[in-house]
Structure 1
Amino acid sequence: MSKLQELADRVERLLLRHQEQQRTHALLQQQLAAVTQERDQLRSRLNTARQRIDTLLERLPAEARDAGDGGGA
């Protein structure tokens, strides 16, 4: 095989490898976007849950005072 043909074969293999890596990169970008979106949704749910818990905790002392005042009179 001539040197030129060997070089052409090598270039062809490199092009194929490059295309494969581009496809892999695109898939990884899609996965990253999906995971990032899922993370953001989970953070939002966590913040909502924290707010609900904070609201409940704020109500607890007031309810305890109300129950204590009404029971002794």
Structure 2
Amino acid sequence: MASASQVEQIAERVERLLVRYEELQRTNALLAQQVEVLTHERDSLRSRLSAARSRVDALLERLPDINAAS
């Protein structure tokens, strides 16, 4: 049978594990929030890039064809 000091040691370790678990839960929540923000930022940048490509393509279409002038 476990002595009182062993039970206290186990209880302390369990408490430390619970504290660590709560810290990890908070860290995980913060990381999930950061992922959401970065995903939104990435999607926004992709959209802006696509719009810029469309504008460049439209400008290229307006340039005269060099081969047709020859």
Structure 1 length-normalised TM: 0.81
Q: Report the equivalent of 1:18.
A: 21
- RMSD of aligned C-alpha atoms? 1.6
Percent pairwise identity: 58
Q: Higher helix proportion, which one?
A: 1
Amino acid at match of 2:10: L
Q: Does 1:56 align with 2:54?
A: no
Equivalent position SS for 1:61: coil
Structure 1: gaps of 5 or more residues: 69-73
Map Cα deviations across residues 27-61 of structure 1 (whole Å, 9 max, x no partner): 00000110110000000000000001000100112
Q: Report the equivalent of 1:35.
A: 38
**Divergent runs of 4+, >4 A:** none
Structure 2: gaps of 5 or more residues: none
Equivalent position SS for 2:64: helix
Greater C-alpha radius of gyration: 1
How many residues align? The count is: 64
Structure 2 length-normalised TM: 0.85
